[in-house]
Amino acid sequence: MPKQGDSRELRTVWWEDGVVKLIDQTRLPGELVILECRDYREVAAAIKEMRLRGAPAIGVAAAYGIALGGNQWAQGSGDSLLGQVKQVAELMRATRPTAVNLFWAVERMLNRAHQVARGERDPGKIQKALLAEAERMAEEDVAVNQRLGRFGAALIKDGDSVLTHCNAGALATVDYGTALGVIRTAHEQGKRVHVYVDETRPYLQGARLTAWELKQLGIPATLITDSMAGHFIHLGRVNLVILGADRIAANGDFANKIGTYSLAVLAKENGIPFYSAAPTSSIDLAIPSGDHIVIEERDAWEVTHFKGIAIAPEGTRAANPAFDVTPNRYLTAIITEEGVIYPPFEEGLRKAVAQVQARRITPFTTSN
């Protein structure tokens, strides 16, 4: 990511002087604009309007939004502060339905609020604890991605050409990225890697965001339209596919950006590995299979228009599911911060989540 004025590297979302700041991804690649949210409703709107997107980034932004909502509460008792926090949490939950990281983050913030409220009735302490939890989630996200990147990079050989879809880079997380973090780690290890970047219709996360990130990182890349992927895979130009995940069911079925399923079938048909790289916060053990994943349906306008210009006859009906579900049988492995998980997935996924939960015990002290 580019540097800020004080030469610190930019993050996708962060807290500064009581304000939630985020890179407005709708303005990239043309302009790097920072959106400043002084009200929790602005954070929710930024998620809904996809100014910030990508499963892990959405989760952390919602956590900061809840901390901001807590901070905005000014008077009354600790109980009414909790009421406000719950209301803000509901607003965050209603922004986007598919990425489980959002619900995971909201739940974690609510648990923290209740945990602190049990011992401390002082609203100031609850507000402080909420911000500390959001900050902790942001720090963890970066560390988790770097760990995941190291596990995944072992699957990339010197000279490999990797195909990726959507944006699972620094912009989809707090920093570093998941699928793109794997590619980035391989590159940092000195491996020569080339990336085929699917443009990712209709929102163009590949063209606008992934190509932008790869350029910043100096990683060789070729942008292709989504419909070219089969051609290049068939020609033998792609050695492996690595992309992210928005929700992984207990059996390993997973939702990711629309177009992922087609790539999975292409990879299997052509005998190349197909990996999903995601933090354990993307795993939803509460659902047995991908059949239970809610797929967000976005405005048809995103398909019928480009930058406000109609590209279809007026009145054309268009479908716009933002994600699809890939059955587990197409997955070679899932790359997480707890290691690379191979089929059958359920046992490995449960073990990874249990390991992370066992480590995350946050006792409340007045200093946090």
Residues serving a catalytic function are: 246
| 97 makes contact with ligand MRU (CB under 6 A) | no
* Shortest separation between residue 55's beta carbon and ligand MRU, angstroms: 4
d(CA 305, CA 325): 25
Nearest to 111 by CA among 136, 86, 141: 86
Binding to ligand MRU by residue 205, rule CB under 6 A? yes
Kindly state the smallest distance separating residue 54's Cβ from ligand MRU, in Å: 4
Stretch touching ligand MRU by CB under 6 A, among 16-24, 239-247, 326-334, 346-354: 239-247
CB atoms closer than 10 angstroms to residue 367: 6
* Residue whose tokens read 């602005």: 42
Nearest to 285 by CA among 337, 359, 349, 219: 349
Burial of 308 (0-12, 13-18, 19+ CB in 10 A): exposed
78 binds ligand MRU (CB under 6 A): no
Q: Are 283 and 352 in contact (CB under 8 A)?
A: yes
Binding flag, residue 54, ligand MRU (CB under 6 A):
yes
Of 51, 128, 184, 257, the one binding ligand MRU by CB under 6 A: 257
Which residue's Cβ lies closest to ligand MRU? 244
Of 138-177, binders to ligand MRU (CB under 6 A) are 166, 168, 172-173
> Which residue blocks in the chain are alpha helix, DSSP H?
40-48, 55-72, 78-93, 100-119, 123-153, 179-188, 205, 211-217, 229-234, 260-269, 301-304, 345-359
CB-nearer residue toward ligand MRU: 130 or 137:
137
Residue 185 interacting with ligand MRU (CB under 6 A): no
Residue closer to ligand MRU by CB (options 70, 244) is 244
Asked if 202 touches ligand MRU (CB under 6 A), the answer is: no
Where does this chain touch ligand MRU (CB under 6 A) — which range of 50-58, 132-140, 146-154, 338-346?
A: 50-58
Contacts of 213 (CB under 8 A, 6+ apart): 1, 167, 169, 170, 171, 177, 180
CB of 120 to ligand MRU, least distance (A): 35
SS3 189: coil
Chain centroid to CA 209:
13
Kindly state whether residue 184 participates in binding ligand MRU, applying the rule CB under 6 A.
Answer: no
**Min CB(167)–ligand MRU separation in Å:** 6
In Å, what is the CA distance from 72 to each residue of 127, 234, 235, 263? 9, 55, 57, 45
Place of tokens 């990336």: 195
**Near ligand MRU by CB under 6 A: residue from 11, 13, 20, 56:** 56
The helix-helix angle for 123-153 and 78-93 (nearest 10°) equals 30
In angstroms, what is the minimal distance from the CB of 139 to ligand MRU?
A: 17
Amino acid occupying residue 75? Q
- Choice between 91 and 171, CB closer to ligand MRU: 171
Between residues 186 and 322, which has the closer beta carbon with respect to ligand MRU? 322
The helix/strand count (H/E) of the chain reads as: 12, 16
Q: Binding mask 268-307 vs ligand MRU (x if CB under 6 A, - otherwise)?
A: ----------------------------------------
Helical packing angle, 123-153 and 55-72, nearest 10° = 170
- The stretch near ligand MRU (CB under 6 A) out of 121-129, 237-245, 285-293, 326-334 is 237-245
183 binds ligand MRU, rule: CB under 6 A: no
**Residue 53 makes contact with ligand MRU by CB under 6 A:** yes
Nearest distance from residue 209's CB to ligand MRU, in Å? 8
Work out how close the CB of 181 gets to ligand MRU at its nearest, in angstroms, rounded to a whole number: 8
Does residue 59 interact with ligand MRU by CB under 6 A? no
The gap from C-alpha 12 to its chain's centroid, in whole angstroms, comes to 11
Establish if 99 lies at the interface with ligand MRU (CB under 6 A). yes
Residue type, 240: L
**Residues that bind ligand MRU in the complex, under the rule CB under 6 A:** 53-56, 99, 166, 168, 172-173, 178, 205, 243-246, 256-257, 322
